[in-house]
Amino acid sequence: MMGPQPSGPARMAAPPLRTALCVVSACAALAACNRQSGPQQPAEATQKATENFATIVAACTQFVAARTAHVGPTGAGNASNSATGAWTKTGYSPAQVQSEVNPTESAVTPFVGKIVIKDNEARAAAATQAEAKATTLTPAHLLSNRTHTFVYSFDGQQWRWQNGQRLTKIPGQNDRMDELTLAEISAPGPQGFGGCVPVVAK
């Protein structure tokens, strides 16, 4: 003798559940397809672009790590300096350097790269050049937090610098974003980033 049978609504519960599972599976499969549909480049080209860019990143990292504090007349290239005194000493904290390489859909520039450099800038004022040189920079001399972003493109043979920008955060002031030219980045001296500019064969 059979026991009581499920009512009509109870028997209909299974099909919607199976339908929901199918929908979830379909969505997961679609997401996987979308992840695989991005720009793809041959493995050999990817390896060449990645290795060449790693050389640029290493040179850039070494360059910013070798920076030392510098002394100069107040106002000489220090437009953001609010300190008083005839001479200033400017220094930088150890920089955090991050990089990435991404493929594109362009046959002309199949890869683009980016280097992001984050550091702090400190500055102290002194009445004389000797006093400025003797000054020890401390966190109390913090002037700004800076983020430099450099963008590069790879043509299949070599990397080229494309553009750059600097985000400056100064306590008590609005954030400032400055576009940077290749001439500014390549400039000699402590304010340039010549070590981050790839050498382009002509």
Instruction: Please state, rounded to an integer, the average pLDDT across all residues of the chain.
Output: 82
Q: Is the pLDDT of residue 28 over 80?
A: no
Mean pLDDT, residues 103-131: 95
- Are 160 and 198 within 8 A, CB to CB? yes
CA distance 62 to 91: 16
CA distance 60 to 91: 18
> Which pTM does this prediction carry?
0.75
| Calculated CA dihedral for residues 58, 63, 65, 69, nearest 10 degrees | -170
The predicted-structure confidence for 126-170, as pLDDT tens digits, reads as follows 999 999 999 999 999 999 999 999 999 999 999 999 999 999 999
Quick one: 36 exposed, middle or buried, by C-beta within 10 A (0-12, 13-18, 19+)? exposed
Q: Is the pLDDT of residue 64 over 60?
A: yes
